[in-house]
Structure 1
Amino acid sequence: MVQGTSQAVPERNHVTNRARSTTRIAAGLAALSLGLAACSGGGSSDGEGDGGEDLTVTSSISQDVDTLLPMDANVGDNIAVLDVIYDGLVRYDPETTEPYPYLAEEITTTDNQVWTIKIKPGTTFHNGEPVDAEAFARAWNYAAYGPNAMGNNYFFERIEGYDDMQGEYEEADDGTVTVDEEPAADELSGLEVVDPQTLQVTLNAPFVGFDTMLGYTGFFPIAQACLDDIEACTTKPIGNGPFQVEEWSQGQSLTATKYADYTGAETPNYDRIEWVEYAGGSEWPDFQAGLMDLAEAPSANFTQAYDDPALQRVERPTAALTYLSFPLYDDGPWTDIEFRKALSMAIDRQAVIDAVLPGQRVPADSWVMPDGVPGGVAGTCGEACTFNPEAAKAALEAAGGWPEGETMTIHLGVDETEQELFQAIGDQITLNLGIPYELDPTPDFFDRRSNRDFSGPFRSNWFPDYPLNENYLGPVYASDDAEEGNTNFGYYNEDFNNAIADGDSAATLDEAVTNYQEAERILAEDFPTAPLFYTNVVLFHSDRVSNVVIDPFSGRAKMRLLEVTG
């Protein structure tokens, strides 16, 4: 998942019983969800303060949030809101990252290609419609239909019939879609509603991690009334979770209230959430004034806030990886691996963190978060991610040096914090290699990246959508185009692709994880990108709230788990 802002981001260990011909996520694991509800207070509170008033939590979201349609929402703030508006088939334990069943009674397979999902009966959307197999099928079909231009479209590419649903189309900056060639189908042939509570999914090929994906936002169900008025649903969705959207004044605030008829296990003990929309770190003065319950301190205030014994905080490293990418599709020094390594070894990652974001980043030496998802281990980058100016100079010389008189452009989005961070990175490169640089912050960064419009290294950021090392690797680096490589970098390696394919077709998840680790080893040999930092989230909170748990993927507070007092 691409993270487009500087906000910290961005969620797991693998499910038990991963062998073939077994229940993949069984109803017996429901005890885990009950345990989480218990530690969050569950329904034990009457939801009122000491004076009988509704209990309200006030938090913040960035002004980048533009939709609350699950199949189109794929950045941290959207996901954090939708996490309490919708329930999915599985949820993820925020401590272990392990999936556990929620709306699914069980998810089974005998061959990792045909999956049977049994859905709990008796649950409804906020408008009373049943949450059944059809609710998931129509949501997935809508997301997979190319001309609908949903941000989570690609998550369904593993399901049979996906290619027939794409056609050819163009989406303008204002969201208008022009269809040049109509898709051959408007439904996934791999989806079958067997009965009201059973959905059968047939994949193009075996993928052992399919059930691990199903807690992601893009796989949420959708009400028929929502599809009937999709535009209205982008701002006021008809969910099925413990809260429902009351009002969204876009650019100002978003309010959600507890859904009175919610029957799920994870029911917070408060009544209302008010998210105020801010740009950058501007919520901090309001937090200091006592108007906010949850906030992150901007870099200018971070050290003072962190050292203030009167402020309550929680922190944890998260799965968000920032890395330096190279336009391998463009003829330049970066096509030489020694040059790419030279830049990486010239960067003192810890010094950059200490200068710009002390305590808010962790130096990265791998492409998969160590100990954060199955298969993640430290040190896979090796010496290439270790600060060593002398080795960097030697690598630069081996690559033929930097063209005399030229300035290296580093591309990134428009974000004050990231500009400070990458200025410090550029300063390191100049100091240790003598390469002059300039930053190119551009508001259309993602479009330019997709159009291969970069003439130098560029900032990238990724956090996984489900707990598997494959999600750091396949979606980012795999390509079936040996000539052009993948879209963003132009990277291609047949052995890497094969290692990913071997993992996908493995009989068990443990075997798959090992194959994906081999893919990361191949990536390290090619060094198409340079890992820089993992995000360390530090979240400050008022004394009204407790049990503040940071989602290891989105980096946001798990709103379902908060306990609130009046």
Structure 2
Amino acid sequence: MLRKKGVIAFLLVMVLVLAACTEGTNTDSTSNQSDSGEDGNGGPLVIGFEADASTLMANHDVNYTTDTLIRNIYDPLIDREGETGEFVPVLAEEWENIDELTWRLKLKEGVTFHNGAQFNADAVKYSIDYILNEENGSFYRSRWANVEEVVAVSEYEVEIHTSVPFPSMIQRIAEDLLIVEPGYVEEVGIEQASNEPVGTGAYTFVDWSRDNHLKLVAYEDYWQGSPDIQEVEFRIIPEFSARMSAFMSGEIHLFKNIPVDSVEQFDSEEIGEIASSRINYLALSNLVEGPLQDVKVRQAINYAIDADELLETVLNGYGTRITGPLSQINSDYTETEDYGYDPDLAVQLIEEAGYDPNELTLTLDTPSGRYPMDSHVAQAIASQLQSIGITVNVQVNEWGRHLEKIQNRETGDMYILGWGPAFDGQSTIENLFTQEAPYSSFYQEDIEEKITQTNQLFDQDERKAGYEEIQQDLVEQAAWVPLWQQADLYAISTSLNFTQRVDEKLNVYEMSWK
């Protein structure tokens, strides 16, 4: 006899009660940012950040935490507007599609790197070639595999030639590519350049103490003008509760992901909220040996997890439910059918796959402090699966180790992850559902063939139709348990001008003291 939904709710409440009894997110402190903000006004800005960069070398690690930090040191060629996600020129002034295999970019003149070297087409070619060179081990390489050659046509004009039609080139440039100084990297070597970077960005490198802090200072000759904030420190504080306490005591001025169970402890003027383009999901890996290689088991887990209840109970409603691999912000989003909550059907499917739920043991990997209530969500999922007899061992990982396990296919059967910012279908689907992509958890030959074909379509209607079909296929195959589109809650000092972005970037150049 299966336990019913009321029991599920009780289990979820117990998970949260137990979590509150351990080192967690609650604190008895009250905010004093109105006092501490004046102390920081005009001085160093301190941002509490959930995890450290894995490297300070651009174009190497596909990792939000790395990317967010280093985008204050390096500039992109093309960026996205913070509120709409539309493309905006940065180091590239213009771009055009010459034909299906050729893209041409006109570059900005008069820009210097922090060491005084001139930005030009050779720097762009070098930065892309770094990705393409297999010896460098860039995790971006699979996303740029169709680039055949980069040609410096003139000092400030570059062409990118592809081996197959590559209609998403501008998305790749905007989301991935940052420009490094070739002469510096060649002179000091990749190892030193990875620890003491040189870019054209608004801030220059001062000091990096791994898992402790990254300190930067304003680049006075920055081509867009000297930054308003002269010094910035990204202080690495993995735990939700510690970040919150640091904010309350005035040690930091800004942090992302306010614990949802502690929102009421902040003054309303200290809170910023925005619907992120990031999605959170439970990966059901068919890339590791185990029962989740059977589609019926994956479908059963979808039926056994009540994501709506998780969203309401664990996240206090901060998020937007998703049923497929894309968020509603994504331009290629299509509506997909929700599995719904049906534990009886879940048991039936597991038995059809040849397993007894009461003898089934699965492992669930999760980070702690990277996504809103991530480890709490993992424990609640374990409780829901336990209600149909499945034993789930939850493995809590430090963020860097969590990523390594995913990249090396060393996770257990399931893992918690978020993906974004993602504004188009390819940036999610290609990177999470193909065999060689570093963060993929699912592969099926016929679906990968559809992905490859769709990625090469320049006709937007055909391309959108292709992604619609792929989304339906992925839901039918239960490639994930889709959870929600993340709601980002920021704690913001009342002395700081800061506008949150849909792509989650923390570009200090856009900030100022009041």
TM over 0.5: yes
Aligned to 2:443: 491
Is 1:106 the counterpart of 2:94? The answer is yes
For residue 375 of structure 1, the aligned residue among 332, 335, 340 is: 332
Paired amino acid for 1:491: Y
CA distance in 1, matches of 2:332, 2:64: 23
Deviation sequence 1:493-552 (CA, Å, 0-9, x none) = 32x234323332222445423322222122222222221233211001111112x33332
Is 1:260 the counterpart of 2:212? The answer is no
Tell whether the 8 Å contact from 2:80 to 2:86 is kept in structure 1 after alignment. yes
Aligned to 1:524: 475
Q: What secondary structure does 1:515 align onto?
A: helix
Q: TM-score by structure 1 length? A: 0.75
Aligned to 2:286: 328
Aligned to 1:34: none
CA distance in 2, matches of 1:286, 1:451: 34
CA distance in 2, matches of 1:490, 1:75: 19
Change (3 A) 1:227 1:60: farther
CA distance in 2, matches of 1:506, 1:127: 42
Tell whether the 8 Å contact from 1:477 to 1:486 is kept in structure 2 after alignment. no
Is 1:475 the counterpart of 2:448? The answer is no
CA distance in 1, matches of 2:46, 2:366: 31
Aligned to 1:563: 512
Paired amino acid for 1:357: L
Q: What secondary structure does 1:71 align onto?
A: coil
For residue 193 of structure 2, the aligned residue among 233, 242, 246 is: 233
CA distance in 2, matches of 1:406, 1:498: 33
Change (3 A) 1:292 1:330: closer
Moved more, 463-472 or 208-217: 463-472
Is 1:423 the counterpart of 2:372? The answer is no
Paired amino acid for 2:47: S
CA distance in 1, matches of 2:40, 2:279: 44
Aligned to 1:345: 303
CA distance in 2, matches of 1:468, 1:557: 21
Change (3 A) 1:562 1:445: closer
Aligned to 1:536: 487
Tell whether the 8 Å contact from 1:323 to 1:460 is kept in structure 2 after alignment. yes
Change (3 A) 1:250 1:435: closer
CA distance in 1, matches of 2:300, 2:160: 47
For residue 247 of structure 2, the aligned residue among 269, 284, 287 is: 287
CA distance in 2, matches of 1:274, 1:404: 50
Change (3 A) 1:84 1:64: closer
Cα offset for 1:231?
A: 2.5
Deviation sequence 1:367-389 (CA, Å, 0-9, x none) = 01112x21124x42x132x2333
CA distance in 1, matches of 2:178, 2:227: 23
Is 1:410 the counterpart of 2:372? The answer is no
Change (3 A) 1:66 1:507: closer
Tell whether the 8 Å contact from 1:82 to 1:217 is kept in structure 2 after alignment. no
Paired amino acid for 1:247: D
Q: What secondary structure does 1:246 align onto?
A: strand
Instruction: Give the alignment's Cα RMSD to 1 decimal.
Output: 3.0
For residue 121 of structure 2, the aligned residue among 133, 136, 139 is: 133
Cα offset for 1:397?
A: 4.7
Paired amino acid for 1:536: A
Tell whether the 8 Å contact from 2:283 to 2:415 is kept in structure 1 after alignment. yes
Structure 1 unpaired stretches of 5+: 1-48, 161-189
Cα offset for 1:122?
A: 1.3
Is 1:194 the counterpart of 2:153? The answer is yes
CA distance in 2, matches of 1:498, 1:149: 25
Aligned to 2:341: 387
Q: What secondary structure does 1:67 align onto?
A: coil
CA distance in 2, matches of 1:338, 1:89: 45
CA distance in 2, matches of 1:472, 1:144: 20
Aligned to 1:551: 501
CA distance in 2, matches of 1:102, 1:89: 5
Aligned residues: 472
Change (3 A) 1:525 1:407: closer
Aligned to 1:512: 463
Structure 2 unpaired stretches of 5+: 1-36
Tell whether the 8 Å contact from 1:71 to 1:153 is kept in structure 2 after alignment. no
For residue 413 of structure 2, the aligned residue among 441, 448, 457 is: 457
For residue 318 of structure 1, the aligned residue among 255, 276, 281 is: 276
CA distance in 1, matches of 2:39, 2:431: 51
Deviation sequence 1:307-349 (CA, Å, 0-9, x none) = 6445511112223333233343566543333322221122122
Cα offset for 1:447?
A: 4.8
Tell whether the 8 Å contact from 1:502 to 1:512 is kept in structure 2 after alignment. no
Is 1:80 the counterpart of 2:85? The answer is no
Q: What secondary structure does 1:70 align onto?
A: coil
Tell whether the 8 Å contact from 1:159 to 1:201 is kept in structure 2 after alignment. yes
Tell whether the 8 Å contact from 2:279 to 2:420 is kept in structure 1 after alignment. no
Aligned to 1:153: 141
CA distance in 2, matches of 1:287, 1:53: 15
Percent identity (aligned): 20
Change (3 A) 1:453 1:250: closer
Change (3 A) 1:464 1:255: same
Paired amino acid for 1:437: V
Aligned to 2:11: none
Structure 1 runs (4+) greater than 6 angstroms displaced: 49-53
Aligned to 1:14: none
Aligned to 1:438: 393
Deviation sequence 1:157-182 (CA, Å, 0-9, x none) = 1211xxxxxxxxxxxxxxxxxxxxxx
Q: TM-score by structure 2 length? A: 0.82
Tell whether the 8 Å contact from 2:238 to 2:369 is kept in structure 1 after alignment. no
Cα offset for 1:564?
A: 1.6
Change (3 A) 1:488 1:558: closer
Q: What secondary structure does 2:93 align onto?
A: strand
Change (3 A) 1:560 1:339: same
Structure with a larger share of its residues in helix: 2
Cα offset for 1:304?
A: 3.3
Tell whether the 8 Å contact from 2:117 to 2:181 is kept in structure 1 after alignment. no
Aligned to 1:210: 169
Change (3 A) 1:240 1:509: farther
Cα offset for 1:290?
A: 1.8
